Amino acid sequence: MKRAVLVSAILLLCSASRAQESTAAQMSGGNSSALSPQEARMNALEDRVRTLAEEVAVLRGELKAVRDAKSAEPASDPRILLAAAHVEPGMLLANPSPIAASAPPEPAPGAPQMAQTQTYGGATSNAKLLNPDISLIGDFIGTAGHNEVSPSRSLELHESEIGMQAIIDPYARADAFISFGETGVSVEEAYVTFTSLPAGLLMKVGKMRADFGKVNTTHNHALPWIDRPLVTNNLVGGEDGIDDAGISLSRFIPAPKGWFMEGTAQVYRGDSDDVFTAYRRQDLGVVGHVRAYRDLSESTNLDLGVSYARGNSAGLITAPNPSAFFTNIYAGDATLRWKPLRRAIYKNLLLRTELFWSARDQLSPLNIFQTQHAFGMYASGEYRVNRRWTVGGRFDRSGRATNANLTDTGFSGILTYWPSEFSQIRGQYRFGHLALANPGDFSNANEFLFQFLFVMGAHGAHPF
Protein backbone atom coordinates (compact mmCIF):
# COMPACT_ATOMS: atom_id res chain seq x y z
CA MET A 1 0.00 0.00 0.00
CA LYS A 2 2.84 2.32 0.90
CA ARG A 3 4.37 1.65 -2.48
CA ALA A 4 1.15 2.40 -4.28
CA VAL A 5 1.02 5.78 -2.53
CA LEU A 6 4.58 6.43 -3.65
CA VAL A 7 3.69 5.54 -7.23
CA SER A 8 0.73 7.92 -7.20
CA ALA A 9 2.90 10.67 -5.74
CA ILE A 10 5.46 10.29 -8.53
CA LEU A 11 2.77 10.33 -11.14
CA LEU A 12 1.17 13.44 -9.70
CA LEU A 13 4.54 15.16 -9.77
CA CYS A 14 4.96 14.02 -13.30
CA SER A 15 1.60 15.39 -14.51
CA ALA A 16 2.21 18.65 -12.66
CA SER A 17 5.49 19.25 -14.43
CA ARG A 18 3.84 18.42 -17.72
CA ALA A 19 1.05 20.90 -17.05
CA GLN A 20 3.55 23.65 -16.28
CA GLU A 21 5.36 22.87 -19.44
CA SER A 22 2.27 23.14 -21.62
CA THR A 23 1.35 26.50 -20.07
CA ALA A 24 4.82 27.72 -20.79
CA ALA A 25 4.52 26.47 -24.30
CA GLN A 26 1.29 28.39 -24.81
CA MET A 27 2.76 31.59 -23.42
CA SER A 28 5.89 31.63 -25.52
CA GLY A 29 5.52 32.90 -29.07
CA GLY A 30 5.33 30.62 -32.05
CA ASN A 31 8.34 32.10 -33.83
CA SER A 32 11.16 29.78 -34.67
CA SER A 33 13.88 31.59 -32.73
CA ALA A 34 12.03 30.89 -29.48
CA LEU A 35 11.73 27.24 -30.35
CA SER A 36 15.26 26.22 -29.58
CA PRO A 37 15.47 26.82 -25.82
CA GLN A 38 11.88 25.71 -25.52
CA GLU A 39 12.71 22.51 -27.32
CA ALA A 40 15.62 21.98 -25.01
CA ARG A 41 13.41 22.39 -21.97
CA MET A 42 10.83 20.10 -23.51
CA ASN A 43 13.50 17.51 -23.97
CA ALA A 44 14.74 17.91 -20.44
CA LEU A 45 11.18 17.47 -19.22
CA GLU A 46 10.65 14.51 -21.48
CA ASP A 47 13.77 12.95 -20.10
CA ARG A 48 12.51 13.53 -16.61
CA VAL A 49 9.17 11.99 -17.41
CA ARG A 50 10.98 9.03 -18.88
CA THR A 51 13.13 8.69 -15.76
CA LEU A 52 10.01 8.83 -13.64
CA ALA A 53 8.34 6.28 -15.88
CA GLU A 54 11.32 4.02 -15.38
CA GLU A 55 11.09 4.45 -11.64
CA VAL A 56 7.43 3.57 -11.85
CA ALA A 57 8.36 0.46 -13.81
CA VAL A 58 10.83 -0.55 -11.11
CA LEU A 59 8.23 -0.01 -8.42
CA ARG A 60 5.71 -1.87 -10.48
CA GLY A 61 8.11 -4.76 -10.81
CA GLU A 62 8.45 -4.87 -7.05
CA LEU A 63 4.70 -4.72 -6.62
CA LYS A 64 4.33 -7.53 -9.07
CA ALA A 65 6.86 -9.61 -7.20
CA VAL A 66 4.85 -9.07 -4.02
CA ARG A 67 1.66 -9.93 -5.82
CA ASP A 68 3.16 -12.93 -7.58
CA ALA A 69 4.13 -14.28 -4.23
CA LYS A 70 0.56 -13.97 -3.09
CA SER A 71 -1.22 -15.21 -6.16
CA ALA A 72 -0.40 -18.19 -8.29
CA GLU A 73 -2.94 -17.10 -10.89
CA PRO A 74 -1.24 -16.39 -14.27
CA ALA A 75 -2.05 -13.40 -16.46
CA SER A 76 -5.42 -13.56 -18.15
CA ASP A 77 -6.61 -12.62 -21.61
CA PRO A 78 -5.09 -9.24 -22.47
CA ARG A 79 -8.16 -8.26 -24.45
CA ILE A 80 -10.13 -7.53 -21.31
CA LEU A 81 -7.92 -4.58 -20.61
CA LEU A 82 -7.68 -3.44 -24.17
CA ALA A 83 -11.38 -2.88 -24.51
CA ALA A 84 -11.42 -0.95 -21.25
CA ALA A 85 -8.41 1.26 -21.71
CA HIS A 86 -8.45 2.39 -25.27
CA VAL A 87 -5.77 4.99 -25.76
CA GLU A 88 -6.64 7.84 -28.08
CA PRO A 89 -4.09 9.01 -30.64
CA GLY A 90 -1.82 11.65 -29.24
CA MET A 91 -2.88 10.93 -25.70
CA LEU A 92 0.47 9.53 -24.76
CA LEU A 93 2.41 12.58 -25.75
CA ALA A 94 -0.09 15.08 -24.48
CA ASN A 95 -0.44 13.50 -21.09
CA PRO A 96 1.62 10.88 -19.34
CA SER A 97 -1.36 9.44 -17.51
CA PRO A 98 -1.50 6.21 -19.57
CA ILE A 99 1.58 5.27 -17.63
CA ALA A 100 -0.50 5.70 -14.55
CA ALA A 101 -3.06 3.34 -16.00
CA SER A 102 -0.41 0.72 -16.32
CA ALA A 103 0.65 0.90 -12.70
CA PRO A 104 -1.40 -1.46 -10.61
CA PRO A 105 -3.22 0.45 -7.91
CA GLU A 106 -2.52 -2.02 -5.14
CA PRO A 107 -1.74 -5.67 -4.71
CA ALA A 108 -4.95 -7.57 -5.19
CA PRO A 109 -4.56 -11.28 -4.57
CA GLY A 110 -6.15 -13.34 -7.28
CA ALA A 111 -6.87 -10.38 -9.55
CA PRO A 112 -5.82 -10.90 -13.19
CA GLN A 113 -2.66 -9.01 -14.14
CA MET A 114 -4.30 -7.00 -16.85
CA ALA A 115 -2.32 -3.85 -16.33
CA GLN A 116 0.88 -5.57 -17.31
CA THR A 117 -0.19 -5.85 -20.91
CA GLN A 118 -0.04 -2.12 -21.50
CA THR A 119 3.12 -0.18 -21.14
CA TYR A 120 5.65 1.74 -23.15
CA GLY A 121 8.75 0.23 -24.65
CA GLY A 122 11.67 1.88 -22.96
CA ALA A 123 10.18 1.70 -19.52
CA THR A 124 10.75 -2.00 -19.07
CA SER A 125 14.24 -2.32 -20.47
CA ASN A 126 15.78 -1.63 -17.08
CA ALA A 127 15.11 -5.27 -16.20
CA LYS A 128 18.62 -6.07 -17.28
CA LEU A 129 19.98 -2.66 -16.45
CA LEU A 130 23.74 -2.60 -16.76
CA ASN A 131 24.51 -6.29 -16.99
CA PRO A 132 26.26 -7.33 -20.18
CA ASP A 133 24.52 -9.78 -22.46
CA ILE A 134 25.69 -13.11 -21.13
CA SER A 135 25.53 -16.36 -23.02
CA LEU A 136 26.89 -19.85 -22.83
CA ILE A 137 27.26 -22.12 -25.80
CA GLY A 138 27.84 -25.79 -25.14
CA ASP A 139 29.50 -27.80 -27.89
CA PHE A 140 29.38 -31.57 -27.42
CA ILE A 141 31.15 -33.71 -30.00
CA GLY A 142 31.29 -37.45 -30.45
CA THR A 143 33.47 -39.35 -32.91
CA ALA A 144 33.36 -42.93 -34.14
CA GLY A 145 35.40 -44.71 -36.77
CA HIS A 146 38.99 -45.00 -37.75
CA ASN A 147 41.71 -42.34 -37.90
CA GLU A 148 45.37 -43.21 -37.29
CA VAL A 149 46.84 -39.81 -38.03
CA SER A 150 44.86 -37.43 -35.83
CA PRO A 151 42.48 -39.44 -33.64
CA SER A 152 40.03 -37.54 -31.46
CA ARG A 153 38.23 -38.75 -28.36
CA SER A 154 35.00 -40.72 -28.55
CA LEU A 155 32.93 -38.25 -26.55
CA GLU A 156 33.81 -34.83 -25.29
CA LEU A 157 32.31 -31.57 -24.20
CA HIS A 158 34.56 -29.96 -26.71
CA GLU A 159 34.00 -26.43 -25.56
CA SER A 160 31.76 -24.31 -23.38
CA GLU A 161 32.01 -20.77 -24.57
CA ILE A 162 30.88 -17.98 -22.33
CA GLY A 163 30.17 -14.74 -24.10
CA MET A 164 29.82 -11.35 -22.45
CA GLN A 165 28.98 -8.39 -24.61
CA ALA A 166 28.11 -4.85 -23.70
CA ILE A 167 28.30 -1.26 -24.72
CA ILE A 168 31.05 0.27 -22.60
CA ASP A 169 30.42 3.98 -23.05
CA PRO A 170 29.24 6.29 -25.83
CA TYR A 171 32.44 5.54 -27.73
CA ALA A 172 33.05 1.85 -27.37
CA ARG A 173 31.64 -1.63 -26.98
CA ALA A 174 33.35 -4.76 -25.75
CA ASP A 175 33.01 -8.44 -26.49
CA ALA A 176 34.60 -11.25 -24.52
CA PHE A 177 34.42 -14.96 -25.27
CA ILE A 178 35.94 -17.31 -22.76
CA SER A 179 36.28 -20.90 -23.78
CA PHE A 180 36.27 -23.75 -21.27
CA GLY A 181 37.70 -26.73 -23.12
CA GLU A 182 38.51 -30.27 -22.06
CA THR A 183 42.06 -29.29 -21.20
CA GLY A 184 41.68 -25.84 -19.74
CA VAL A 185 40.32 -22.35 -20.00
CA SER A 186 41.35 -19.84 -22.59
CA VAL A 187 40.29 -16.37 -23.56
CA GLU A 188 39.23 -16.99 -27.12
CA GLU A 189 38.57 -13.33 -27.73
CA ALA A 190 38.25 -10.25 -25.55
CA TYR A 191 38.42 -6.89 -27.21
CA VAL A 192 37.09 -3.40 -27.11
CA THR A 193 35.79 -1.80 -30.30
CA PHE A 194 35.94 1.96 -30.67
CA THR A 195 32.99 2.95 -32.79
CA SER A 196 33.29 6.73 -32.79
CA LEU A 197 36.73 7.40 -34.18
CA PRO A 198 37.35 10.14 -36.72
CA ALA A 199 38.04 9.47 -40.41
CA GLY A 200 35.74 6.46 -40.45
CA LEU A 201 38.20 4.24 -38.64
CA LEU A 202 37.11 1.27 -36.61
CA MET A 203 39.63 0.20 -33.99
CA LYS A 204 39.67 -3.01 -32.01
CA VAL A 205 42.08 -3.60 -29.17
CA GLY A 206 42.50 -6.84 -27.27
CA LYS A 207 42.84 -10.49 -28.02
CA MET A 208 40.98 -11.48 -31.14
CA ARG A 209 40.73 -13.89 -34.00
CA ALA A 210 42.68 -12.23 -36.78
CA ASP A 211 40.77 -10.91 -39.77
CA PHE A 212 42.42 -13.51 -41.96
CA GLY A 213 39.98 -15.02 -44.45
CA LYS A 214 36.65 -16.39 -43.31
CA VAL A 215 37.12 -19.55 -41.29
CA ASN A 216 39.81 -17.99 -39.10
CA THR A 217 37.36 -15.38 -37.82
CA THR A 218 34.59 -17.86 -37.10
CA HIS A 219 33.90 -19.34 -33.68
CA ASN A 220 33.51 -23.11 -33.45
CA HIS A 221 29.78 -22.99 -32.88
CA ALA A 222 29.18 -20.81 -35.94
CA LEU A 223 30.96 -23.11 -38.39
CA PRO A 224 28.90 -24.98 -40.95
CA TRP A 225 30.86 -28.16 -40.04
CA ILE A 226 31.73 -29.98 -36.83
CA ASP A 227 35.48 -29.84 -37.45
CA ARG A 228 37.64 -27.28 -39.18
CA PRO A 229 39.04 -27.87 -42.67
CA LEU A 230 42.33 -29.77 -42.99
CA VAL A 231 44.02 -26.65 -44.29
CA THR A 232 43.26 -24.81 -41.04
CA ASN A 233 45.07 -27.48 -39.08
CA ASN A 234 47.94 -27.81 -41.54
CA LEU A 235 48.70 -24.19 -42.40
CA VAL A 236 46.83 -21.74 -40.17
CA GLY A 237 47.36 -22.89 -36.62
CA GLY A 238 44.57 -25.35 -35.99
CA GLU A 239 41.36 -24.71 -34.14
CA ASP A 240 42.25 -21.34 -32.68
CA GLY A 241 44.01 -20.21 -35.81
CA ILE A 242 45.66 -16.82 -35.81
CA ASP A 243 44.29 -15.61 -32.50
CA ASP A 244 46.48 -13.16 -30.66
CA ALA A 245 46.72 -9.96 -28.65
CA GLY A 246 46.91 -6.91 -30.83
CA ILE A 247 45.41 -3.83 -32.39
CA SER A 248 43.20 -3.72 -35.43
CA LEU A 249 42.27 -0.79 -37.63
CA SER A 250 39.78 -1.01 -40.45
CA ARG A 251 38.14 1.39 -42.80
CA PHE A 252 35.85 1.40 -45.81
CA ILE A 253 37.71 1.91 -49.07
CA PRO A 254 36.20 3.81 -51.98
CA ALA A 255 34.99 1.27 -54.49
CA PRO A 256 33.39 1.16 -57.90
CA LYS A 257 29.65 1.67 -57.87
CA GLY A 258 27.78 -1.28 -56.45
CA TRP A 259 30.79 -2.62 -54.58
CA PHE A 260 31.59 -2.41 -50.92
CA MET A 261 35.25 -2.56 -49.97
CA GLU A 262 36.90 -2.61 -46.60
CA GLY A 263 40.56 -2.71 -45.63
CA THR A 264 41.90 -3.99 -42.31
CA ALA A 265 45.40 -3.72 -40.88
CA GLN A 266 46.30 -5.52 -37.67
CA VAL A 267 49.40 -5.73 -35.50
CA TYR A 268 49.81 -8.64 -33.10
CA ARG A 269 52.31 -9.69 -30.50
CA GLY A 270 53.23 -12.53 -32.81
CA ASP A 271 52.15 -15.61 -30.81
CA SER A 272 49.59 -17.83 -32.44
CA ASP A 273 49.65 -21.50 -31.51
CA ASP A 274 51.87 -23.38 -33.92
CA VAL A 275 52.04 -20.77 -36.68
CA PHE A 276 53.76 -17.75 -35.16
CA THR A 277 55.98 -17.31 -32.15
CA ALA A 278 57.48 -14.08 -30.85
CA TYR A 279 61.01 -14.86 -29.70
CA ARG A 280 61.75 -11.26 -28.83
CA ARG A 281 59.55 -8.29 -28.03
CA GLN A 282 60.18 -6.86 -31.49
CA ASP A 283 58.92 -9.98 -33.27
CA LEU A 284 55.49 -8.60 -34.00
CA GLY A 285 53.05 -10.24 -36.35
CA VAL A 286 50.98 -8.38 -38.92
CA VAL A 287 47.75 -9.25 -40.69
CA GLY A 288 46.17 -7.42 -43.59
CA HIS A 289 42.80 -8.06 -45.19
CA VAL A 290 40.85 -6.49 -48.02
CA ARG A 291 37.25 -7.42 -48.55
CA ALA A 292 35.09 -6.71 -51.58
CA TYR A 293 31.39 -7.34 -51.56
CA ARG A 294 28.68 -6.93 -54.15
CA ASP A 295 24.95 -7.57 -54.27
CA LEU A 296 24.33 -9.38 -57.54
CA SER A 297 20.61 -9.21 -56.95
CA GLU A 298 18.30 -8.83 -54.00
CA SER A 299 18.82 -12.47 -53.08
CA THR A 300 22.32 -13.21 -54.39
CA ASN A 301 25.62 -11.73 -53.36
CA LEU A 302 29.31 -12.23 -53.86
CA ASP A 303 31.90 -11.77 -51.13
CA LEU A 304 35.61 -11.79 -51.99
CA GLY A 305 38.68 -11.31 -49.86
CA VAL A 306 42.45 -11.42 -49.89
CA SER A 307 44.50 -11.73 -46.72
CA TYR A 308 48.09 -11.68 -45.67
CA ALA A 309 49.73 -12.69 -42.41
CA ARG A 310 53.35 -12.56 -41.36
CA GLY A 311 55.19 -13.50 -38.21
CA ASN A 312 58.11 -15.48 -36.95
CA SER A 313 57.87 -19.21 -37.56
CA ALA A 314 56.83 -21.18 -34.52
CA GLY A 315 58.74 -24.09 -33.07
CA LEU A 316 62.27 -22.86 -33.69
CA ILE A 317 63.31 -22.15 -30.14
CA THR A 318 66.42 -24.27 -30.63
CA ALA A 319 67.49 -22.45 -33.79
CA PRO A 320 70.48 -20.11 -33.46
CA ASN A 321 68.58 -16.96 -34.48
CA PRO A 322 64.85 -17.78 -34.51
CA SER A 323 63.86 -14.16 -35.14
CA ALA A 324 65.28 -14.48 -38.65
CA PHE A 325 62.74 -17.16 -39.60
CA PHE A 326 59.46 -15.91 -40.96
CA THR A 327 56.20 -17.45 -42.03
CA ASN A 328 54.22 -15.59 -44.67
CA ILE A 329 50.70 -16.78 -45.39
CA TYR A 330 48.67 -15.49 -48.29
CA ALA A 331 44.99 -16.31 -48.66
CA GLY A 332 42.05 -15.67 -50.92
CA ASP A 333 38.41 -16.36 -50.18
CA ALA A 334 35.24 -16.30 -52.25
CA THR A 335 31.66 -16.75 -51.09
CA LEU A 336 28.47 -16.85 -53.09
CA ARG A 337 25.23 -16.62 -51.18
CA TRP A 338 21.69 -17.09 -52.39
CA LYS A 339 18.77 -16.39 -50.12
CA PRO A 340 15.36 -15.42 -51.49
CA LEU A 341 14.00 -12.78 -49.10
CA ARG A 342 10.43 -14.07 -49.02
CA ARG A 343 11.56 -17.57 -48.09
CA ALA A 344 14.79 -16.70 -46.29
CA ILE A 345 14.10 -18.96 -43.33
CA TYR A 346 13.33 -21.98 -45.52
CA LYS A 347 15.73 -21.94 -48.45
CA ASN A 348 19.23 -20.69 -48.94
CA LEU A 349 22.51 -21.71 -50.43
CA LEU A 350 26.07 -20.81 -49.57
CA LEU A 351 29.13 -21.77 -51.60
CA ARG A 352 32.54 -20.92 -50.27
CA THR A 353 36.16 -21.61 -51.01
CA GLU A 354 39.37 -20.46 -49.39
CA LEU A 355 42.88 -20.88 -50.73
CA PHE A 356 46.03 -20.60 -48.65
CA TRP A 357 49.68 -20.35 -49.59
CA SER A 358 52.20 -20.70 -46.82
CA ALA A 359 55.90 -19.86 -47.08
CA ARG A 360 57.60 -21.02 -43.91
CA ASP A 361 61.25 -20.51 -43.03
CA GLN A 362 62.59 -23.36 -40.98
CA LEU A 363 65.57 -25.58 -40.42
CA SER A 364 65.76 -28.69 -42.54
CA PRO A 365 66.51 -32.02 -40.81
CA LEU A 366 70.15 -31.30 -41.68
CA ASN A 367 69.94 -27.92 -39.90
CA ILE A 368 70.02 -25.90 -43.11
CA PHE A 369 67.84 -22.81 -43.62
CA GLN A 370 64.97 -23.65 -45.95
CA THR A 371 61.59 -22.26 -46.94
CA GLN A 372 58.68 -24.68 -47.34
CA HIS A 373 56.02 -23.56 -49.81
CA ALA A 374 52.76 -25.32 -49.08
CA PHE A 375 49.35 -24.86 -50.61
CA GLY A 376 46.00 -25.77 -49.13
CA MET A 377 42.34 -25.15 -49.80
CA TYR A 378 38.84 -26.17 -49.05
CA ALA A 379 35.59 -25.80 -50.98
CA SER A 380 32.32 -26.02 -49.15
CA GLY A 381 28.63 -25.80 -49.87
CA GLU A 382 25.54 -25.79 -47.69
CA TYR A 383 21.93 -25.81 -48.71
CA ARG A 384 18.98 -25.18 -46.45
CA VAL A 385 16.33 -27.66 -47.49
CA ASN A 386 13.62 -26.40 -45.18
CA ARG A 387 13.27 -24.56 -41.91
CA ARG A 388 14.88 -27.33 -39.91
CA TRP A 389 17.30 -29.18 -42.18
CA THR A 390 20.51 -28.21 -43.92
CA VAL A 391 22.73 -30.44 -46.03
CA GLY A 392 26.31 -29.63 -46.82
CA GLY A 393 29.58 -30.94 -48.15
CA ARG A 394 33.23 -30.00 -48.08
CA PHE A 395 36.31 -30.92 -50.07
CA ASP A 396 39.71 -30.55 -48.42
CA ARG A 397 43.22 -30.60 -49.76
CA SER A 398 46.29 -29.29 -48.04
CA GLY A 399 50.04 -29.66 -47.82
CA ARG A 400 51.76 -29.52 -44.47
CA ALA A 401 53.41 -26.25 -43.48
CA THR A 402 56.58 -27.97 -42.26
CA ASN A 403 56.79 -30.45 -45.13
CA ALA A 404 55.09 -29.43 -48.34
CA ASN A 405 55.68 -32.86 -49.84
CA LEU A 406 53.05 -34.34 -47.54
CA THR A 407 49.55 -33.65 -48.80
CA ASP A 408 46.30 -34.56 -47.07
CA THR A 409 43.02 -34.87 -48.95
CA GLY A 410 39.53 -35.38 -47.61
CA PHE A 411 35.86 -34.83 -48.02
CA SER A 412 32.87 -34.56 -45.71
CA GLY A 413 29.11 -34.76 -45.89
CA ILE A 414 27.14 -32.84 -43.28
CA LEU A 415 23.53 -32.95 -42.15
CA THR A 416 22.21 -30.41 -39.67
CA TYR A 417 18.92 -30.27 -37.78
CA TRP A 418 17.68 -27.24 -35.87
CA PRO A 419 14.98 -27.90 -33.26
CA SER A 420 14.95 -24.11 -32.78
CA GLU A 421 17.29 -21.19 -33.27
CA PHE A 422 18.93 -22.03 -29.96
CA SER A 423 20.00 -25.60 -30.43
CA GLN A 424 21.52 -27.60 -33.21
CA ILE A 425 22.16 -31.28 -33.89
CA ARG A 426 24.65 -32.17 -36.56
CA GLY A 427 26.17 -35.27 -38.08
CA GLN A 428 29.20 -35.39 -40.34
CA TYR A 429 30.77 -38.21 -42.29
CA ARG A 430 34.44 -37.52 -42.92
CA PHE A 431 36.84 -39.33 -45.18
CA GLY A 432 40.52 -38.52 -45.11
CA HIS A 433 43.37 -39.66 -47.30
CA LEU A 434 46.09 -38.60 -44.91
CA ALA A 435 49.82 -38.54 -45.54
CA LEU A 436 52.15 -40.49 -43.27
CA ALA A 437 55.68 -39.44 -42.41
CA ASN A 438 57.12 -41.43 -45.30
CA PRO A 439 56.43 -39.58 -48.57
CA GLY A 440 54.06 -41.65 -50.66
CA ASP A 441 52.56 -43.52 -47.71
CA PHE A 442 48.96 -42.75 -46.85
CA SER A 443 46.43 -43.79 -44.29
CA ASN A 444 42.70 -43.64 -44.96
CA ALA A 445 40.43 -42.33 -42.23
CA ASN A 446 36.70 -43.04 -42.14
CA GLU A 447 34.88 -41.26 -39.36
CA PHE A 448 31.43 -40.33 -38.25
CA LEU A 449 31.13 -37.24 -36.06
CA PHE A 450 28.07 -35.92 -34.28
CA GLN A 451 27.53 -32.73 -32.39
CA PHE A 452 25.01 -31.15 -30.07
CA LEU A 453 25.10 -27.39 -29.66
CA PHE A 454 23.00 -25.38 -27.27
CA VAL A 455 22.78 -21.66 -26.58
CA MET A 456 21.81 -20.15 -23.26
CA GLY A 457 21.15 -16.49 -22.82
CA ALA A 458 21.60 -13.62 -25.24
CA HIS A 459 24.40 -14.33 -27.68
CA GLY A 460 25.11 -11.38 -29.90
CA ALA A 461 24.71 -11.59 -33.64
CA HIS A 462 27.69 -12.66 -35.68
CA PRO A 463 29.07 -10.47 -38.45
CA PHE A 464 27.77 -11.39 -41.90
**Which residues within the stretch 134-163 sit at the binding site for other proteins (CB under 8 A)?**
none
Out of 180, 260, 338, 375, the only residue in the binding site for other proteins (CB under 8 A) is: 260
- Whose Cβ is closer to other proteins: residue 26's or residue 32's? 32
Task: For the segment 209-248, give every residue that binds other proteins (CB under 8 A).
Answer: none
Task: For the segment 298-317, give every residue that binds other proteins (CB under 8 A).
Answer: 298, 301, 303
| Contact between 129 and other proteins per CB under 8 A | no
CA distance 426 to 440: 34
Out of 184, 200, 256, 320, the only residue in the binding site for other proteins (CB under 8 A) is: 200
CA distance 303 to 333: 8
Segment lying near other proteins (by CB under 8 A), choices 149-157, 237-245, 324-332, 377-385:
324-332
Nearest partner of 396 among 415, 376, 426, judged by Cα: 376
Segment lying near other proteins (by CB under 8 A), choices 226-234, 238-246, 296-304, 431-439:
296-304
Task: For the segment 390-419, give every residue that binds other proteins (CB under 8 A).
Answer: none
DSSP bridge partners of 65: none
| Contact between 262 and other proteins per CB under 8 A | yes
| Contact between 1 and other proteins per CB under 8 A | no
| Contact between 288 and other proteins per CB under 8 A | yes
- Whose Cβ is closer to other proteins: residue 33's or residue 438's? 33
Out of 15, 95, 118, 402, the only residue in the binding site for other proteins (CB under 8 A) is: 118
CB of 420 to other proteins, least distance (A): 6
Is residue 360 classed exposed, middle or buried when 0-12, 13-18 and 19+ CB atoms within 10 A define those classes?
buried
Nearest partner of 177 among 191, 157, 193, 167, judged by Cα: 191
CB of 447 to other proteins, least distance (A): 31
Residues ≥6 apart with Cβ < 8 Å to 16? none
Is residue 450 classed exposed, middle or buried when 0-12, 13-18 and 19+ CB atoms within 10 A define those classes?
middle
Out of 267, 306, 336, 355, the only residue in the binding site for other proteins (CB under 8 A) is: 267
Residues ≥6 apart with Cβ < 8 Å to 334? 302, 303, 304, 305, 352, 353, 354
DSSP code of 365?
T
Out of 97, 117, 147, 218, the only residue in the binding site for other proteins (CB under 8 A) is: 117
Give the pairing of strands 300-312 and 326-338.
antiparallel
CA distance 304 to 3: 60
| Contact between 92 and other proteins per CB under 8 A | yes
Position 10: which residue type?
A: I
Segment lying near other proteins (by CB under 8 A), choices 17-25, 80-88, 211-219, 436-444:
80-88
CB of 1 to other proteins, least distance (A): 21
CA distance 334 to 352: 6
CA distance 402 to 55: 64
**Which phi-psi region, left, alpha or beta, contains residue 338 (left: φ > 0; alpha: ψ -120 to 50)?**
beta
| Contact between 87 and other proteins per CB under 8 A | yes
- Whose Cβ is closer to other proteins: residue 350's or residue 449's? 350
- Whose Cβ is closer to other proteins: residue 85's or residue 149's? 85
- Whose Cβ is closer to other proteins: residue 238's or residue 288's? 288
Nearest partner of 325 among 269, 377, 280, 266, judged by Cα: 280
Segment lying near other proteins (by CB under 8 A), choices 19-27, 81-89, 182-190, 374-382:
81-89
CB of 55 to other proteins, least distance (A): 16
| Contact between 346 and other proteins per CB under 8 A | yes
| Contact between 32 and other proteins per CB under 8 A | yes
Position 421: which residue type?
A: E
| Contact between 97 and other proteins per CB under 8 A | no
Nearest partner of 432 among 221, 37, 151, 46, judged by Cα: 151
| 3-state SS class at 65 | helix
| Contact between 345 and other proteins per CB under 8 A | yes
| Contact between 192 and other proteins per CB under 8 A | no
| Contact between 173 and other proteins per CB under 8 A | yes
CB of 378 to other proteins, least distance (A): 23
DSSP 249-308: EEEEE--STTEEEEEEEEEE-S-BTTTB--SSTT--EEEEEEEEEEESSSSEEEEEEEEE
Task: For the segment 38-67, give every residue that binds other proteins (CB under 8 A).
Answer: 39, 42-43, 50, 64
CA distance 427 to 142: 9
Segment lying near other proteins (by CB under 8 A), choices 115-123, 221-229, 238-246, 373-381:
115-123
CB of 419 to other proteins, least distance (A): 8
| Contact between 124 and other proteins per CB under 8 A | yes
| Contact between 19 and other proteins per CB under 8 A | no
DSSP bridge partners of 143: 449
Q: How many residues bind other proteins (CB under 8 A)?
A: 91
